[in-house]
Copies of this chain bind each other. A is one copy, B any other.
Amino acid sequence: MPPTNTDRASTDRASADRTDTGRTSADYFRQLAAERPDIALCRASTAVARAADAQAQALGIGVGRHLVLKMLAEVGPCSQRVLSDQLRIDRTVMVGLCDSLEEAGHVRRERHATDRRAYAVTLTDTGRQLLDRAEAAVPEFLDSTFGALGPAERKQLATLLGKLLHSTSRP
């Protein structure tokens, strides 16, 4: 880490000065990311989210909708509250996701048998078909987005994020 309190304010030419530590403003972000894992995490997240959005849009389904279908397929009918909690999607957002999925016929909102406050959101056949199509594209998407990391590194990353998630969601 280079000394930070330097006071060099005088001349500021258009091209970055390359006098001292190599680069000052030319690639400041790299230094910042190394020093502040929180910032690195957030910036990486937006980059990945952007890629995921683009890919999901191309498939005619949003990331949130994809996750809802996936969870319904793997867990069975759920209330919106359970979907929200487990997918970490705000409950007021989940309303819109289920609205659009239901309107497209990918999901039915059946009343829960014993608790009529809650729905039992249920996957339909067309929903499962859409999910299968979306799932088929996931591996390639992950390969291209995380292509800079080898298999071992991806596993490392997943482990580290897992620890982080478990700690931050349970203080």
Contact = CB atoms under 8 A, between A and B. Distances in A.
Interface of A: 1-2, 4-6, 8-9, 11-14, 20-22, 24-25, 27-30, 32-34, 36-49, 51-52, 67, 70-71, 73-79, 82, 85-88, 112-115, 118, 120, 122-123, 128, 138, 141-142, 145-149, 153-154, 156-158, 160-169
Contacts of A164: 44, 47-48, 146, 148-149, 157
A161 B41 contact: yes
A6 B128 contact: yes
Contacts of A46: 45, 88
Given A29-B86, A160-B157, A76 B146 contact: no
Contacts of A78: 21-22, 25
Contacts of A27: 86
B37 A73 contact: no
Nearest to A141: B38
A97 to B, nearest CB: 15
Given A20-B114, A21-B77, A33-B162, 9 more contacts: A1-B76, A12-B77, A28-B71, A32-B86, A33-B161, A36-B138, A37-B154, A45-B46, A147-B167
